Structure 1
Amino acid sequence: MPFNFTVSPDFAPDHMSGWFYFNTWMQRKLGTDIHLELYDSFDEQREAIKAGKVDLIYANPYDASMLVRELGFQAVARPIGKRDEAVVVVPAESPAQSVEDLKEGSRLATTDDPDVHTIGMIMLEPADLDSGNITQKEYDTYILIAKALLRGEADVGFFLKQGFDELSDLIKKQMRVLVSSQISVVHHALLVGPGMQDRMAELKPLFVEMNKDEKGLGVLESMGLRGFEPMTTEQTEFMIDLIDTLTI
Protein backbone atom coordinates (compact mmCIF):
# COMPACT_ATOMS: atom_id res chain seq x y z
CA MET A 1 0.00 0.00 0.00
CA PRO A 2 1.42 3.40 -0.95
CA PHE A 3 1.52 6.27 1.49
CA ASN A 4 -0.88 9.13 0.79
CA PHE A 5 0.29 12.74 0.55
CA THR A 6 -1.81 15.88 0.18
CA VAL A 7 -1.33 19.64 0.08
CA SER A 8 -3.43 22.39 1.61
CA PRO A 9 -5.81 23.59 -1.15
CA ASP A 10 -4.64 27.21 -0.87
CA PHE A 11 -1.44 26.76 -2.91
CA ALA A 12 -1.03 28.97 -5.99
CA PRO A 13 -2.32 27.22 -9.17
CA ASP A 14 0.98 28.03 -10.88
CA HIS A 15 2.71 25.74 -8.38
CA MET A 16 0.50 22.69 -8.87
CA SER A 17 3.01 20.93 -11.11
CA GLY A 18 5.71 21.67 -8.50
CA TRP A 19 3.93 19.55 -5.91
CA PHE A 20 3.82 16.62 -8.35
CA TYR A 21 7.56 17.06 -8.96
CA PHE A 22 8.06 17.14 -5.19
CA ASN A 23 6.12 13.91 -4.77
CA THR A 24 8.16 12.19 -7.48
CA TRP A 25 11.42 13.45 -5.96
CA MET A 26 10.33 12.27 -2.51
CA GLN A 27 9.41 8.78 -3.76
CA ARG A 28 12.80 8.36 -5.40
CA LYS A 29 14.66 9.53 -2.31
CA LEU A 30 12.66 7.31 0.05
CA GLY A 31 12.40 4.33 -2.29
CA THR A 32 8.69 3.93 -1.60
CA ASP A 33 5.34 4.57 -3.30
CA ILE A 34 3.58 7.81 -2.32
CA HIS A 35 0.31 8.88 -3.90
CA LEU A 36 -0.36 12.61 -4.18
CA GLU A 37 -4.04 13.52 -3.88
CA LEU A 38 -5.08 17.16 -4.27
CA TYR A 39 -8.49 18.25 -2.98
CA ASP A 40 -10.65 21.09 -4.27
CA SER A 41 -11.67 22.38 -0.85
CA PHE A 42 -10.67 22.35 2.80
CA ASP A 43 -13.85 20.49 3.75
CA GLU A 44 -13.17 17.71 1.25
CA GLN A 45 -9.59 17.43 2.45
CA ARG A 46 -10.65 17.30 6.12
CA GLU A 47 -13.05 14.45 5.35
CA ALA A 48 -10.19 12.48 3.79
CA ILE A 49 -7.93 13.22 6.77
CA LYS A 50 -10.54 12.05 9.27
CA ALA A 51 -11.10 8.93 7.18
CA GLY A 52 -7.43 8.03 7.58
CA LYS A 53 -6.57 8.65 3.93
CA VAL A 54 -3.62 10.99 4.60
CA ASP A 55 -0.15 10.03 5.84
CA LEU A 56 1.75 13.22 4.98
CA ILE A 57 0.36 16.72 4.50
CA TYR A 58 1.62 20.20 3.72
CA ALA A 59 -0.95 21.63 6.09
CA ASN A 60 -2.67 24.93 6.57
CA PRO A 61 -1.92 26.25 10.09
CA TYR A 62 -5.63 26.41 10.93
CA ASP A 63 -5.88 22.62 10.61
CA ALA A 64 -2.76 21.92 12.68
CA SER A 65 -4.73 21.65 15.93
CA MET A 66 -6.97 18.88 14.57
CA LEU A 67 -4.08 17.08 12.91
CA VAL A 68 -1.69 17.19 15.87
CA ARG A 69 -3.94 17.10 18.93
CA GLU A 70 -6.78 14.94 17.63
CA LEU A 71 -5.19 12.68 15.03
CA GLY A 72 -1.60 12.29 16.26
CA PHE A 73 0.27 13.97 13.40
CA GLN A 74 3.75 15.34 14.08
CA ALA A 75 5.42 18.34 12.48
CA VAL A 76 8.63 17.59 10.61
CA ALA A 77 9.46 20.84 8.75
CA ARG A 78 8.20 24.28 7.74
CA PRO A 79 8.96 26.45 4.71
CA ILE A 80 11.86 28.86 5.09
CA GLY A 81 10.84 32.50 5.20
CA LYS A 82 7.15 31.94 4.43
CA ARG A 83 4.67 33.10 7.05
CA ASP A 84 0.92 33.17 6.57
CA GLU A 85 -0.07 36.81 6.70
CA ALA A 86 -3.41 38.18 5.49
CA VAL A 87 -4.19 41.48 3.78
CA VAL A 88 -7.45 43.44 3.62
CA VAL A 89 -7.82 44.93 0.14
CA VAL A 90 -10.22 47.40 -1.53
CA PRO A 91 -10.50 48.66 -5.12
CA ALA A 92 -8.12 51.55 -5.83
CA GLU A 93 -11.04 53.98 -6.24
CA SER A 94 -12.63 53.02 -2.90
CA PRO A 95 -13.18 55.99 -0.57
CA ALA A 96 -11.93 53.85 2.33
CA GLN A 97 -8.39 54.86 3.28
CA SER A 98 -8.26 52.68 6.39
CA VAL A 99 -10.19 49.77 7.86
CA GLU A 100 -12.06 52.18 10.12
CA ASP A 101 -13.58 53.79 7.00
CA LEU A 102 -15.41 50.58 6.02
CA LYS A 103 -19.15 50.71 6.68
CA GLU A 104 -21.83 48.31 7.82
CA GLY A 105 -23.28 46.44 4.87
CA SER A 106 -19.92 46.21 3.12
CA ARG A 107 -19.70 43.32 0.66
CA LEU A 108 -16.80 41.01 1.53
CA ALA A 109 -15.09 38.65 -0.92
CA THR A 110 -13.27 35.80 0.83
CA THR A 111 -12.19 32.19 0.31
CA ASP A 112 -12.60 29.00 2.32
CA ASP A 113 -8.98 29.45 3.48
CA PRO A 114 -9.71 29.32 7.23
CA ASP A 115 -6.69 31.07 8.69
CA VAL A 116 -6.80 33.95 6.18
CA HIS A 117 -10.52 34.47 6.78
CA THR A 118 -10.08 34.35 10.56
CA ILE A 119 -7.20 36.85 10.54
CA GLY A 120 -9.06 39.05 8.07
CA MET A 121 -12.16 39.22 10.27
CA ILE A 122 -10.00 40.18 13.26
CA MET A 123 -8.54 43.03 11.21
CA LEU A 124 -12.08 44.32 10.50
CA GLU A 125 -12.83 44.70 14.22
CA PRO A 126 -11.60 48.35 14.43
CA ALA A 127 -14.48 49.21 12.08
CA ASP A 128 -16.94 47.33 14.35
CA LEU A 129 -17.64 44.93 11.49
CA ASP A 130 -18.44 41.26 11.90
CA SER A 131 -20.39 38.52 10.16
CA GLY A 132 -23.62 40.04 11.46
CA ASN A 133 -23.37 43.43 9.77
CA ILE A 134 -21.62 42.66 6.47
CA THR A 135 -22.47 40.41 3.56
CA GLN A 136 -19.89 37.94 2.36
CA LYS A 137 -19.41 35.70 -0.64
CA GLU A 138 -16.91 32.89 -0.89
CA TYR A 139 -14.74 32.50 -3.98
CA ASP A 140 -12.55 29.57 -4.99
CA THR A 141 -9.36 31.53 -5.70
CA TYR A 142 -7.69 34.85 -4.98
CA ILE A 143 -7.84 35.68 -8.70
CA LEU A 144 -11.64 35.50 -8.48
CA ILE A 145 -11.61 37.76 -5.40
CA ALA A 146 -9.57 40.29 -7.36
CA LYS A 147 -12.04 40.11 -10.25
CA ALA A 148 -14.97 40.64 -7.86
CA LEU A 149 -13.32 43.77 -6.48
CA LEU A 150 -12.47 45.15 -9.92
CA ARG A 151 -15.96 44.46 -11.28
CA GLY A 152 -17.60 46.26 -8.36
CA GLU A 153 -19.14 43.04 -7.03
CA ALA A 154 -17.36 43.42 -3.66
CA ASP A 155 -16.22 46.35 -1.51
CA VAL A 156 -13.43 44.58 0.36
CA GLY A 157 -11.52 41.32 0.00
CA PHE A 158 -9.28 39.06 2.07
CA PHE A 159 -6.09 37.68 0.53
CA LEU A 160 -3.24 35.54 1.72
CA LYS A 161 -0.44 38.11 1.42
CA GLN A 162 1.57 35.77 -0.76
CA GLY A 163 -1.48 35.22 -2.96
CA PHE A 164 -1.91 38.99 -3.37
CA ASP A 165 1.78 39.52 -4.07
CA GLU A 166 1.66 36.89 -6.83
CA LEU A 167 -1.03 38.77 -8.77
CA SER A 168 0.13 40.66 -11.85
CA ASP A 169 1.25 44.26 -11.39
CA LEU A 170 -1.60 45.36 -13.68
CA ILE A 171 -4.20 43.85 -11.34
CA LYS A 172 -2.49 45.00 -8.12
CA LYS A 173 -2.37 48.60 -9.36
CA GLN A 174 -6.16 48.59 -9.48
CA MET A 175 -6.43 47.66 -5.80
CA ARG A 176 -5.16 49.03 -2.51
CA VAL A 177 -4.11 47.25 0.70
CA LEU A 178 -5.74 48.76 3.79
CA VAL A 179 -3.94 46.65 6.36
CA SER A 180 -1.67 43.61 6.57
CA SER A 181 -1.33 41.25 9.51
CA GLN A 182 2.04 40.94 11.25
CA ILE A 183 1.69 37.73 13.24
CA SER A 184 4.94 36.19 11.92
CA VAL A 185 4.61 32.79 13.64
CA VAL A 186 1.70 31.35 11.64
CA HIS A 187 2.76 29.21 8.70
CA HIS A 188 2.13 26.02 6.77
CA ALA A 189 3.98 22.88 7.83
CA LEU A 190 4.77 19.38 6.68
CA LEU A 191 3.01 17.06 9.13
CA VAL A 192 3.47 13.28 9.29
CA GLY A 193 0.61 10.99 10.29
CA PRO A 194 0.87 7.93 12.58
CA GLY A 195 1.14 5.51 9.65
CA MET A 196 4.33 7.12 8.38
CA GLN A 197 6.01 8.20 11.61
CA ASP A 198 8.40 5.26 11.62
CA ARG A 199 10.15 7.11 8.77
CA MET A 200 10.53 10.41 10.64
CA ALA A 201 14.29 9.87 10.99
CA GLU A 202 14.54 9.81 7.17
CA LEU A 203 12.03 12.55 6.46
CA LYS A 204 13.47 15.38 8.55
CA PRO A 205 16.96 15.45 6.98
CA LEU A 206 15.45 14.76 3.56
CA PHE A 207 13.33 17.93 3.69
CA VAL A 208 15.80 20.13 5.56
CA GLU A 209 18.64 19.33 3.16
CA MET A 210 16.48 19.47 0.04
CA ASN A 211 17.88 22.85 -1.05
CA LYS A 212 21.40 21.38 -0.99
CA ASP A 213 20.42 18.80 -3.61
CA GLU A 214 20.60 20.00 -7.23
CA LYS A 215 17.37 18.30 -8.30
CA GLY A 216 15.72 19.15 -4.99
CA LEU A 217 16.55 22.82 -5.48
CA GLY A 218 14.89 22.77 -8.89
CA VAL A 219 11.79 21.18 -7.38
CA LEU A 220 11.66 23.82 -4.65
CA GLU A 221 11.81 26.59 -7.24
CA SER A 222 8.83 25.04 -9.07
CA MET A 223 6.93 25.11 -5.75
CA GLY A 224 7.82 28.73 -5.05
CA LEU A 225 9.81 27.76 -1.95
CA ARG A 226 13.38 28.45 -0.81
CA GLY A 227 13.58 25.30 1.26
CA PHE A 228 12.47 23.75 4.53
CA GLU A 229 13.71 24.10 8.08
CA PRO A 230 13.10 21.82 11.09
CA MET A 231 9.95 22.43 13.11
CA THR A 232 10.02 21.44 16.77
CA THR A 233 7.20 20.21 18.95
CA GLU A 234 7.42 23.44 20.97
CA GLN A 235 7.05 25.58 17.84
CA THR A 236 4.11 23.49 16.71
CA GLU A 237 2.32 23.78 20.06
CA PHE A 238 2.92 27.54 20.21
CA MET A 239 1.41 28.04 16.75
CA ILE A 240 -1.58 25.85 17.59
CA ASP A 241 -2.20 27.75 20.83
CA LEU A 242 -2.06 31.06 18.95
CA ILE A 243 -4.48 29.88 16.27
CA ASP A 244 -6.84 28.55 18.94
CA THR A 245 -6.72 31.94 20.68
CA LEU A 246 -7.48 33.78 17.44
CA THR A 247 -10.53 31.63 16.74
CA ILE A 248 -12.16 32.01 20.17
Structure 2
Amino acid sequence: MTYNLTVSPDFAPDHISGWYFFNTWLQRQLDTGIHLELYDGFDEQRDDIQNNKFDLIYANPYDASMLVRELGFQAIARPADKSDETVIAVNAESSINTVEDLVPGSRISTTDDPDVHTMGMIMLESADLDKTNTQIKEHPSYVVVAKNLLNGDSDAGFFLKDAYDELSDLIRSKMRVLVSSQISVVHHSFLVGPDMVEHVPALQDALFTMHENDKGRGVLESMGISSWEPMDSEQTEFMIDLIDTLID
Protein backbone atom coordinates (compact mmCIF):
# COMPACT_ATOMS: atom_id res chain seq x y z
CA MET A 1 0.00 0.00 0.00
CA THR A 2 1.22 3.51 -0.83
CA TYR A 3 0.41 6.35 1.56
CA ASN A 4 0.30 10.04 0.66
CA LEU A 5 2.23 12.89 2.29
CA THR A 6 1.84 16.64 1.79
CA VAL A 7 3.45 19.73 3.27
CA SER A 8 1.99 23.15 4.10
CA PRO A 9 2.92 25.40 1.13
CA ASP A 10 4.55 28.11 3.26
CA PHE A 11 8.05 26.61 3.32
CA ALA A 12 10.94 28.33 1.54
CA PRO A 13 11.58 27.24 -2.09
CA ASP A 14 15.11 26.23 -1.07
CA HIS A 15 13.58 23.40 1.00
CA ILE A 16 11.66 21.70 -1.81
CA SER A 17 14.44 19.17 -2.38
CA GLY A 18 14.67 18.63 1.38
CA TRP A 19 11.09 17.39 1.57
CA TYR A 20 11.77 14.93 -1.25
CA PHE A 21 14.84 13.71 0.64
CA PHE A 22 12.66 13.36 3.75
CA ASN A 23 10.06 11.37 1.84
CA THR A 24 12.70 8.94 0.59
CA TRP A 25 14.19 8.65 4.09
CA LEU A 26 10.74 8.03 5.62
CA GLN A 27 9.90 5.26 3.15
CA ARG A 28 13.09 3.45 4.11
CA GLN A 29 12.40 3.85 7.82
CA LEU A 30 8.86 2.47 7.57
CA ASP A 31 9.54 0.04 4.71
CA THR A 32 6.41 1.20 2.91
CA GLY A 33 5.52 3.35 -0.08
CA ILE A 34 4.84 7.05 0.48
CA HIS A 35 4.01 9.52 -2.28
CA LEU A 36 4.86 13.20 -1.68
CA GLU A 37 2.67 15.86 -3.25
CA LEU A 38 3.52 19.56 -2.91
CA TYR A 39 1.27 22.53 -3.68
CA ASP A 40 1.81 26.16 -4.69
CA GLY A 41 -1.15 27.42 -2.65
CA PHE A 42 -3.37 26.57 0.30
CA ASP A 43 -6.82 26.38 -1.31
CA GLU A 44 -6.14 23.50 -3.71
CA GLN A 45 -4.31 21.59 -0.99
CA ARG A 46 -7.18 22.08 1.47
CA ASP A 47 -9.68 20.74 -1.05
CA ASP A 48 -7.61 17.57 -1.47
CA ILE A 49 -7.13 17.23 2.29
CA GLN A 50 -10.88 17.45 2.87
CA ASN A 51 -11.36 14.80 0.19
CA ASN A 52 -9.22 12.44 2.32
CA LYS A 53 -6.34 12.30 -0.13
CA PHE A 54 -3.55 12.34 2.48
CA ASP A 55 -2.33 10.17 5.33
CA LEU A 56 0.61 12.26 6.54
CA ILE A 57 0.65 16.07 6.68
CA TYR A 58 3.18 18.62 7.86
CA ALA A 59 0.56 21.24 8.61
CA ASN A 60 0.41 24.89 9.56
CA PRO A 61 -1.44 25.75 12.82
CA TYR A 62 -4.62 26.87 11.07
CA ASP A 63 -5.04 23.61 9.16
CA ALA A 64 -4.22 21.55 12.26
CA SER A 65 -7.63 22.48 13.67
CA MET A 66 -9.49 21.03 10.67
CA LEU A 67 -7.26 17.97 10.50
CA VAL A 68 -7.62 17.02 14.17
CA ARG A 69 -11.20 17.99 14.91
CA GLU A 70 -12.86 17.22 11.59
CA LEU A 71 -10.75 14.53 9.93
CA GLY A 72 -9.41 12.55 12.90
CA PHE A 73 -5.69 13.24 12.42
CA GLN A 74 -3.27 12.93 15.32
CA ALA A 75 -0.36 15.35 15.86
CA ILE A 76 2.71 13.39 16.89
CA ALA A 77 5.65 15.75 16.41
CA ARG A 78 6.72 19.33 15.93
CA PRO A 79 10.03 20.85 14.83
CA ALA A 80 12.14 21.62 17.90
CA ASP A 81 12.72 25.26 18.86
CA LYS A 82 10.72 26.52 15.87
CA SER A 83 7.55 28.49 16.57
CA ASP A 84 5.42 30.25 13.95
CA GLU A 85 5.75 33.99 14.36
CA THR A 86 4.52 36.78 12.09
CA VAL A 87 6.50 39.88 11.11
CA ILE A 88 5.27 43.10 9.55
CA ALA A 89 7.92 44.62 7.29
CA VAL A 90 8.28 47.70 5.11
CA ASN A 91 10.64 48.95 2.44
CA ALA A 92 13.93 49.98 4.09
CA GLU A 93 13.53 53.48 2.61
CA SER A 94 10.01 53.92 3.93
CA SER A 95 9.25 56.76 6.34
CA ILE A 96 7.15 54.29 8.36
CA ASN A 97 9.09 53.38 11.52
CA THR A 98 6.39 51.82 13.70
CA VAL A 99 3.05 50.11 13.13
CA GLU A 100 1.38 53.23 14.52
CA ASP A 101 2.80 55.22 11.59
CA LEU A 102 0.55 53.30 9.20
CA VAL A 103 -2.57 55.25 8.29
CA PRO A 104 -6.06 54.42 6.95
CA GLY A 105 -5.83 53.49 3.30
CA SER A 106 -2.44 51.78 3.74
CA ARG A 107 -1.71 49.07 1.19
CA ILE A 108 -0.99 45.75 2.90
CA SER A 109 0.53 42.77 1.06
CA THR A 110 -0.22 39.33 2.47
CA THR A 111 -0.59 35.68 1.40
CA ASP A 112 -3.37 33.13 1.76
CA ASP A 113 -1.58 31.72 4.84
CA PRO A 114 -4.49 32.28 7.28
CA ASP A 115 -2.70 32.18 10.65
CA VAL A 116 0.01 34.60 9.48
CA HIS A 117 -2.57 36.95 7.93
CA THR A 118 -4.72 36.84 11.06
CA MET A 119 -1.80 37.63 13.36
CA GLY A 120 -0.69 40.44 11.05
CA MET A 121 -4.15 42.02 11.17
CA ILE A 122 -4.19 41.73 14.98
CA MET A 123 -0.86 43.58 15.15
CA LEU A 124 -2.32 46.38 12.99
CA GLU A 125 -4.99 47.05 15.61
CA SER A 126 -2.57 49.26 17.56
CA ALA A 127 -2.80 51.69 14.61
CA ASP A 128 -6.62 51.42 14.58
CA LEU A 129 -6.42 49.59 11.25
CA ASP A 130 -8.50 46.64 10.09
CA LYS A 131 -9.83 45.17 6.85
CA THR A 132 -12.37 48.01 6.49
CA ASN A 133 -9.81 50.83 6.28
CA THR A 134 -6.83 49.18 4.58
CA GLN A 135 -6.20 47.90 1.07
CA ILE A 136 -5.40 44.19 1.42
CA LYS A 137 -3.56 42.63 -1.53
CA GLU A 138 -3.17 38.84 -1.45
CA HIS A 139 -0.19 37.25 -3.22
CA PRO A 140 0.81 33.62 -3.89
CA SER A 141 4.08 33.66 -1.91
CA TYR A 142 6.21 35.63 0.52
CA VAL A 143 8.70 36.30 -2.26
CA VAL A 144 5.97 38.18 -4.16
CA VAL A 145 5.03 40.06 -0.99
CA ALA A 146 8.66 41.16 -0.71
CA LYS A 147 8.75 42.23 -4.37
CA ASN A 148 5.67 44.39 -3.83
CA LEU A 149 7.38 46.16 -0.94
CA LEU A 150 10.59 46.67 -2.90
CA ASN A 151 8.67 48.00 -5.92
CA GLY A 152 6.72 50.46 -3.79
CA ASP A 153 3.41 48.78 -4.59
CA SER A 154 2.63 48.17 -0.90
CA ASP A 155 3.21 50.09 2.31
CA ALA A 156 3.68 47.02 4.53
CA GLY A 157 3.74 43.24 4.22
CA PHE A 158 2.97 40.24 6.42
CA PHE A 159 5.51 37.40 6.55
CA LEU A 160 5.93 34.12 8.37
CA LYS A 161 9.11 34.94 10.31
CA ASP A 162 10.91 31.81 9.09
CA ALA A 163 10.02 32.71 5.50
CA TYR A 164 11.27 36.27 6.01
CA ASP A 165 14.54 35.06 7.53
CA GLU A 166 15.09 32.72 4.59
CA LEU A 167 14.78 35.41 1.94
CA SER A 168 18.09 36.31 0.33
CA ASP A 169 20.42 38.70 2.14
CA LEU A 170 19.97 41.18 -0.72
CA ILE A 171 16.18 41.23 -0.45
CA ARG A 172 16.19 41.48 3.35
CA SER A 173 18.71 44.33 3.21
CA LYS A 174 16.13 46.35 1.31
CA MET A 175 13.38 45.80 3.91
CA ARG A 176 12.92 46.63 7.56
CA VAL A 177 10.88 44.79 10.24
CA LEU A 178 8.42 46.95 12.16
CA VAL A 179 7.22 44.33 14.62
CA SER A 180 7.31 40.57 15.24
CA SER A 181 4.80 38.48 17.18
CA GLN A 182 6.01 36.54 20.22
CA ILE A 183 3.42 33.83 20.81
CA SER A 184 5.89 30.90 20.94
CA VAL A 185 3.23 28.16 21.32
CA VAL A 186 1.99 28.26 17.71
CA HIS A 187 3.88 26.03 15.32
CA HIS A 188 3.71 23.60 12.42
CA SER A 189 2.98 19.98 13.30
CA PHE A 190 3.49 16.55 11.77
CA LEU A 191 0.13 14.76 11.71
CA VAL A 192 -0.92 11.18 11.00
CA GLY A 193 -4.30 10.24 9.51
CA PRO A 194 -6.63 7.48 10.71
CA ASP A 195 -5.58 5.03 7.97
CA MET A 196 -1.96 5.18 9.10
CA VAL A 197 -2.39 5.04 12.87
CA GLU A 198 -0.73 1.59 13.07
CA HIS A 199 2.53 3.23 11.98
CA VAL A 200 2.55 5.86 14.74
CA PRO A 201 5.03 4.06 17.06
CA ALA A 202 7.48 3.46 14.20
CA LEU A 203 7.04 7.04 12.98
CA GLN A 204 7.72 8.46 16.43
CA ASP A 205 10.81 6.32 16.87
CA ALA A 206 12.14 7.35 13.44
CA LEU A 207 11.44 11.07 13.83
CA PHE A 208 12.73 11.48 17.38
CA THR A 209 16.04 9.77 16.63
CA MET A 210 16.48 11.30 13.18
CA HIS A 211 19.06 13.87 14.31
CA GLU A 212 21.26 11.22 15.93
CA ASN A 213 22.95 10.03 12.72
CA ASP A 214 24.65 11.78 9.82
CA LYS A 215 22.10 10.83 7.17
CA GLY A 216 19.13 11.94 9.25
CA ARG A 217 20.83 15.20 10.24
CA GLY A 218 21.59 15.91 6.59
CA VAL A 219 17.95 15.48 5.62
CA LEU A 220 16.80 17.67 8.52
CA GLU A 221 19.26 20.38 7.53
CA SER A 222 17.91 20.39 3.97
CA MET A 223 14.41 20.96 5.45
CA GLY A 224 15.50 23.77 7.76
CA ILE A 225 14.73 21.72 10.88
CA SER A 226 17.18 20.86 13.67
CA SER A 227 15.25 17.93 15.17
CA TRP A 228 11.75 16.73 16.02
CA GLU A 229 10.16 16.75 19.46
CA PRO A 230 7.01 14.98 20.71
CA MET A 231 3.62 16.63 20.58
CA ASP A 232 0.78 15.25 22.69
CA SER A 233 -2.98 15.76 22.53
CA GLU A 234 -2.99 18.40 25.30
CA GLN A 235 -0.44 20.57 23.47
CA THR A 236 -2.38 20.11 20.23
CA GLU A 237 -5.71 21.13 21.74
CA PHE A 238 -4.18 24.18 23.43
CA MET A 239 -2.70 25.40 20.15
CA ILE A 240 -5.92 24.77 18.22
CA ASP A 241 -7.99 26.62 20.86
CA LEU A 242 -5.59 29.57 20.64
CA ILE A 243 -5.75 29.71 16.83
CA ASP A 244 -9.56 29.43 16.88
CA THR A 245 -9.71 32.31 19.39
CA LEU A 246 -7.46 34.50 17.25
CA ILE A 247 -9.45 33.83 14.09
CA ASP A 248 -12.84 34.35 15.74
Q: Same fold (TM over 0.5)?
A: yes
Uncovered stretches (5+) of structure 1, i.e. residues with no partner: none
TM-score when scaled to structure 2? Answer: 0.98
* 1:138, distance to aligned residue in structure 2 (A): 1.3
- What residue identity is the alignment partner of 2:51? A
Q: Note if 1:229 corresponds to 2:225.
A: no
Aligned to 2:211: 211
2:142 aligned partner: 142
Distance in structure 1 (CA, Å) of the matches to 2:239 and 2:142? 25
What whole-Å deviation, never above 9, does each CA across 1:137-157 have from its counterpart, x for those lacking one?
111221111111011100000
What TM-score results when the alignment is normalised by the length of structure 1? 0.98
How many Å separate the matches in 2 of 1:81 and 1:51? 32
Q: Deviation at 1:53?
A: 0.4
Report the equivalent of 2:86: 86
Return the alpha-carbon distance in structure 1 between the equivalents of residues 226 and 169 of structure 2.
Answer: 23
Q: Deviations over 1:147-171 (max 9, x none)?
A: 1101110000001111111122222
Regions of 4+ moved over 2 Å = none
Distance in 2 (alpha carbons) for counterparts of 1:169 and 1:39: 26
How far did 1:201 drift? Answer: 1.1
Alignment partner, residue 101 of structure 2: 101
Alignment-derived partner of residue 240 in structure 1: 240
Moved more, 191-200 or 133-142: 133-142
Give the distance between the partners of 2:166 and 2:83, measured in 1 at CA: 15
Shift of 1:41: 1.3
Q: Does 1:64 align with 2:64?
A: yes
- Give the Å deviation of 1:45: 0.9
CA–CA distance in structure 2, aligned partners of residues 105 and 123 of structure 1 = 16
> Tell me, what secondary structure is at the counterpart of 1:68?
helix
Matches within 5 A, 1:23-62: 23-62=23-62
- Shifted more, 136-145 versus 109-118: the winner is 136-145
CA offset at residue 43 of structure 1? 0.9
Deviation string 1:178-225 (CA, Å, 9 cap, x unpaired) is 110000000000000001011111111111111012211110011111
> Separation in 2 of the partners of 1:49 and 1:146?
29
* Counterpart position of 2:195: 195
Amino acid at match of 2:53: K
C-alpha separation in 2, matches of 1:171 and 1:69: 39
One-letter identity of the residue aligned with 1:240? I
Which digits, 9 at most, give the CA deviation of each residue in 1:55-87, with x for residues without a partner? 000000111110001110001100011110000
SS at match of 2:28: helix
Distance 1:174 1:222 in 2: 26
1:97 shift after superposition: 1.4
CA distance in 2, matches of 1:23, 1:173: 34
Letter in 1 for 2:129: L
Counterpart of 2:159?
Answer: 159
Q: Secondary structure at the match of 1:104?
A: coil
Q: Secondary structure at the match of 1:11?
A: coil
Cα distance in 2 between the residues matched to 1:122 and 1:213: 42
Quote the residue 2:2 is aligned against.
2
Deviates more, 1:204-213 or 1:14-23: 204-213
Q: Which moved further from structure 2: 38-47 or 57-66?
A: 38-47
RMSD of aligned Cα (Å): 0.9
SS at match of 1:45: helix
